[in-house]
């Protein structure tokens, strides 16, 4: 997969909904009902972070949910890429980008939303052919004003800001012309997941799906 093909697919995924849930799944048994609740609430693109022992199994379970598009987040090594692809992930998300990681995603045919926090990082990825990126960590890197400023000289790059995005500031990001969607964890809070309150999570997803990109 070329960087251009990866970016085209990433753009399609980012346009599915205004918010991409960023999920930390601690128990594989929660994966499928969690995905079903989020998809029913209007958020089909799901990012499962590789931060728990259950993450890969969670991806496999979520991949079975009709209407869902499941990706793996926190990809930092070529082995992460192989594991994610084998588990059923259809896209990847990384906090940054390295040559080895980019090469692995291209070789495995896994569309990557590579992270960038500065103009130089974004320009290096654009030079390679990536024009859809993750802006991370969004709030710590200056928030919506910083992303707006980066967009002025680099209008050809689109972003999915993640990191500190919340119901209070999500619309501020989504109002920017260089933002396709935003990543957020608030739609699947740990207490609701632990208690199995799937109706509560679906309601949060419905609210998030009404935001306008």
Helix (H, G, I), strand (E, B) or coil at 75: coil
Q: Would you call 148 a catalytic residue per the annotation?
A: no
Helix (H, G, I), strand (E, B) or coil at 81: helix
Helix (H, G, I), strand (E, B) or coil at 125: helix
- Residues 6, 191: Cα–Cα separation, whole Å: 35
Candidate list 36, 47, 106, 202, residue with the active-site label: 47
Candidate list 36, 106, 134, 202, residue with the active-site label: 134
Over residues 159-177, the mean pLDDT reads 98
Q: Would you call 27 a catalytic residue per the annotation?
A: no
Q: How do residues 100-146 score in pLDDT, each as one tens digit?
A: 999 999 999 999 999 999 999 999 999 999 999 999 999 999 999 99
Structural domain boundaries in the chain: 3-207
Give how far the C-alpha of residue 21 lies from the chain's centroid of Cα atoms, to the nearest Å.
7
The CATH homologous superfamily to which domain 3-207 belongs is: Aldolase class I (3.20.20.70)
Helix (H, G, I), strand (E, B) or coil at 115: strand
Q: Which of 111, 156, 116 is nearest to 135 (CA)?
A: 116
Give pTM, 2 decimals.
Answer: 0.96
């Amino acid at each position: 997969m070329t960087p251009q093909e990866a970016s085209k697919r990433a753009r399609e995924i980012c346009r599915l909904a205004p918010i991409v849930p960023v999920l930390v799944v601690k128990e594989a048994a929660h994966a499928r009902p969690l995905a079903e609740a989020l998809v029913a609430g209007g958020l089909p693109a799901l990012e499962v972070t590789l931060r728990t022992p259950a993450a890969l199994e969670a991806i496999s379970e979520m991949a079975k949910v009709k209407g869902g598009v499941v990706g793996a987040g926190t990809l930092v090594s070529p082995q992460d890429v192989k594991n994610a692809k084998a588990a059923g992930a259809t896209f990847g998300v990384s906090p940054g980008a390295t040559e080895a990681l980019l090469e692995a995603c291209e070789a495995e045919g896994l569309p990557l939303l590579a992270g960038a926090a500065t103009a130089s990082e974004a320009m290096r990825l654009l030079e390679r052919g990536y024009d859809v990126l993750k802006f991370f960590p969004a709030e710590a890197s200056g928030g919506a004003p910083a992303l707006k400023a980066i967009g002025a000289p680099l209008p050809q790059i689109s972003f999915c800001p993640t990191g500190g995005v919340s119901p209070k500031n999500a619309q501020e990001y989504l109002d920017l012309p260089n933002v396709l969607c935003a990543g957020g964890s608030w739609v699947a809070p740990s207490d609701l997941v632990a208690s199995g309150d799937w109706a509560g999570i679906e309601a949060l997803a419905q609210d998030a799906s009404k935001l306008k990109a």
